[in-house]
Structure 1
Amino acid sequence: MRILHTSDWHIGRSFHGHQTLDALRGVLATLAGQVREHRVDVVVVAGDVFDSATPAAACYTLLTDALRDISAAGAQIVLTSGNHDNAARLGFLAPLLRDGIHVITDPAGVGTPVTLSDEHGPVHVYGIPYLEPIIVRGVWPGSGLRTQQQAIAHAMGLIEADRSGRGGRSVVVSHCFAAGVEASDGVEREIRQGSLDVVPLSSFDGPDYVALGHIHGRSRLDDGVRYSGAPLHYSFSEAGKPRGSWLVDLDAHGLAAVEWLELPVPRRLVTLRGTLEELLGDPALDAHADAWVCAVLTDATPQTDPMRRLQQRFPHCATIQLDPQNRAAEDGLSYRARVRKAASDADLIDSFLSLVREGDGASDQEARIIGDVVSERAATEVTA
């Protein structure tokens, strides 16, 4: 059986205020083409289908189109809910979808697989929706679950009990943060690393393959335990990391092979660092004119209208970060001491600028403008 493992579509997420629906639609269309090209039997989507618990109507349309295209390409689909999804809303779709599309959102169903078959016999696919301990305690009374680790362990206990009775090959689909993933792998913003939310890798012992979601970068924790990552780049920290999915082959005995399938990147992400004038004037940066740009400005003082000016050269400049360099050393004076020390109005303004700029007073050009304004103001007061 051939399985395509994907996750974290985050339909509806914006990128620094820019909508991503069109880009995601194109990427998922490519994924559907890969399903047809590689004769995939089942696509598993390991949670965070939507980015919001209340997605807009256009998000439902994109999901419906993507599932229809994948189904038409010849694959069945097993889809679970993640922490960003509203499980009840996502689960409501299940009865309305065509045969061969399985939406798993109810923790009460953990331990009951979707059973598929190939020439070697059955393959049991167990979906584990995102398990919020405070919620699943009501589903499993008396379990005393307080952490993700405990919730996953309980769910895997139910799965193991069912697996041992059924026999055959098995796949688990789960949305969690498993131990062994580095922070650089794109840890989701809600995950608290180093806390009780971390699930030990040993929790997933047993199945032939475990398809994980929640991490936005691909990651191999073991031959049969992997994250596929998100199909789009959703932050500049993910720049340069490949986008794609895992193509998993099961033979008569279990896991036979795993291959990475690349997905296209609609627009590259790049972080450019320098002063505003350097970023605007360096001809070597022409290669990034069509990329999403994060501009890290190193100017010692704030610049005038930097976003507008940057977008004239980089139309897709999405965000600016300030990292001032070469600032003058602070003198340690309080603002009251600066006021008392000022010998003139021009000195007073320079002291204020030095305070708010953390050490840098007026530039030569600013000092001339300040001097002219102060002189003009003084002359006006005399004639009045």
Structure 2
Amino acid sequence: MPFRFIHTSDLHLGRRFANIPEPADNGVRGRLMDARHTVIRRLAQAARTHGARHVLLAGDTFDSATPSPQVLRQMLAEMREQADVHWWLLPGNHDNLRSAEPVWEAIRRDAPSNVRPILDTSVLQPAPGVHVLPCPVPVRAAGRDLTASMPATATPAGALRIGLAHGGVLDFTDSGEHIPPDRDRSAGLDYLALGDWHGRLAVTPRTHYPGTPEPDRFKHPGRGRCLAVSIDGPGAEPDVREIETATFAWIRQELPLHQGESAADALEALLPTADRRNTLLRIIATGWASPAAHAALGATCDRHRPEFAYFDLQSERLGTLHSVSDLDQIARSGAIRLAAEALMHEADDDQQPEDTRDIASAALNRLYAYAREAAE
């Protein structure tokens, strides 16, 4: 009979999202924090749908080593309610064994019977004939590959071998912490459940990162998900299926603009049409646009911004095409006209430093927008 389980990681419960601006009456940070808790129930439902009784959480259950009592107790209460699912919690780098020792001790002491903190490297047996080789993170920067002991870890002949670890398969700092991408082969693993990378990544058919079940940044495209894994027996290739679990979508879109193009229409065509309240959107405007197009782009963003959980327009890479006709729409004479001409001259002067030209161009665009607002 196949062994089925849910592979997830990087819940980061308690994350505060201080990097997300929060306008008055928006409450987006609180909603984002609550969604990370709500995903526990979604993971349990994914397990039931998949016919699984176990959830393997490959590190970073908490965003820090010191989650609040509310975050900790509410997590345990929610997992207790999902009593038909067994939760296996591996310490990661954010909630490593040393820094979060009081937290893991509290979980060991107070957790319901269906929640198991993994506090050492002892082989676990979630089901008959199934052995899990865990690698809890001892300190935030261990400086070594924590899966190195897996090849020598003995399990009974004919048993499923599942590795559970937290860390990267690439080492960009020469720290020695990276996990070899062929660890599944060298350790004779039927499956290696990894955490740490917040995006979905299949390293090999047997080695996977599920990504966080509730996204927390624009870096990784798509909605959060978990992996429903089924293994028919020792040596069989795992069947791995993605199940969406997230409340929020984080979307980063490029908006390339060209001379003469309607910036407002181009943006309208790019905006998602569904579930805007649960969408965090970042638009990266590039190319060239007139001051009028800059103003229209900003006005369109302002009109739609309240519909989204978060809406960010980044226009630093959008250049400005200046013309005398633009100045005429600001003012035909007087001090304001003289100021506009001076800004246009500075923005178009190749002898000026780039940051000076950028500042002058942005000021001219702002002046144009103010003039148009006053005229309406």
TM-score by length of 1: 0.68
**Cα separation, 1, equivalents of 2:341 and 2:49:** 72
**Equivalent pair of 1:247/1:261 in contact (CA under 8 Å):** yes
Within 5 Å, give how 1:1-384 maps onto structure 2.
Answer: 1-15=3-17, 16-17=20-21, 18-19=29-30, 20-70=32-82, 72=83, 74-85=84-95, 86-92=99-105, 93-105=107-119, 109-110=120-121, 112-118=122-128, 122-132=129-139, 147-149=143-145, 151-153=146-148, 155-156=149-150, 160-161=152-153, 163-164=154-155, 168-179=159-170, 192=172, 196-204=176-184, 205-240=187-222, 242-255=223-236, 257-272=238-253, 273=255, 278-279=263-264, 283-284=268-269, 285=271, 287=273, 289-290=276-277, 291-298=279-286, 310-315=301-306, 316=308, 317-327=310-320, 350=343, 354=347, 356-358=356-358, 360=360, 363=364, 366=367
Q: Aligned-pair distance for 1:251?
A: 3.8
Q: Structure 1 unaligned runs (5+)?
A: 136-146, 180-190, 330-344, 371-384
**Cα separation, 2, equivalents of 1:347 and 1:308:** 21
Root-mean-square deviation (Å)? 4.0
Aligned length: 318
Q: What residue identity is the alignment partner of 1:130?
A: V
**Equivalent pair of 2:130/2:160 in contact (CA under 8 Å):** yes
**Cα separation, 2, equivalents of 1:206 and 1:116:** 19
Q: Aligned-pair distance for 1:31?
A: 1.7
**Cα separation, 2, equivalents of 1:365 and 1:2:** 58
**Cα separation, 1, equivalents of 2:237 and 2:194:** 18
Q: What residue identity is the alignment partner of 2:244?
A: L
**Cα separation, 2, equivalents of 1:364 and 1:178:** 46
Q: Aligned-pair distance for 1:226?
A: 1.3
**Cα separation, 1, equivalents of 2:340 and 2:268:** 40
Judged with a 3 Å threshold, the aligned counterparts in structure 2 of structure 1 residues 14 and 365 are, in CA distance, closer, same or farther, namely: closer
Q: Which moved more, 1:222-231 or 1:249-258?
A: 249-258
**Cα separation, 1, equivalents of 2:173 and 2:236:** 30
Q: 1:312-336 deviations in whole A, cap 9, x for unaligned? A: 412233434233333579xxxxxxx
Judged with a 3 Å threshold, the aligned counterparts in structure 2 of structure 1 residues 100 and 27 are, in CA distance, closer, same or farther, namely: closer
**Cα separation, 2, equivalents of 1:271 and 1:294:** 5
In the alignment, which residue of structure 1 is the partner of 2:335? none
**Cα separation, 1, equivalents of 2:189 and 2:136:** 17
**Cα separation, 2, equivalents of 1:350 and 1:82:** 53
**Cα separation, 2, equivalents of 1:237 and 1:255:** 34
Judged with a 3 Å threshold, the aligned counterparts in structure 2 of structure 1 residues 60 and 326 are, in CA distance, closer, same or farther, namely: same
Q: Aligned-pair distance for 1:230?
A: 0.7
TM-score by length of 2: 0.69
**Cα separation, 1, equivalents of 2:90 and 2:162:** 13
Q: Aligned-pair distance for 1:117?
A: 2.9
Q: What residue identity is the alignment partner of 1:220?
A: A
Q: 1:95-140 deviations in whole A, cap 9, x for unaligned? A: 21122321113xxx32x1122333xxx32222211254866xxxxx
Q: Which moved more, 1:4-13 or 1:93-102?
A: 93-102
**Cα separation, 1, equivalents of 2:340 and 2:182:** 67
Q: Percent identity?
A: 22
**Cα separation, 1, equivalents of 2:366 and 2:229:** 65
Q: 1:155-174 deviations in whole A, cap 9, x for unaligned? A: 325xx33x256773222110
Q: Structure 2 unaligned runs (5+)?
A: 22-28, 323-337, 372-376
Judged with a 3 Å threshold, the aligned counterparts in structure 2 of structure 1 residues 259 and 308 are, in CA distance, closer, same or farther, namely: same
Q: 1:63-111 deviations in whole A, cap 9, x for unaligned? A: 21342244x1x23221101111144134211121122321113xxx32x
Q: What residue identity is the alignment partner of 1:175?
A: H
**Equivalent pair of 1:327/1:360 in contact (CA under 8 Å):** no
Q: What residue identity is the alignment partner of 1:37?
A: T
- DSSP 3-state at the match of 1:89: helix
Q: Aligned-pair distance for 1:293?
A: 1.4
**Cα separation, 2, equivalents of 1:248 and 1:206:** 18
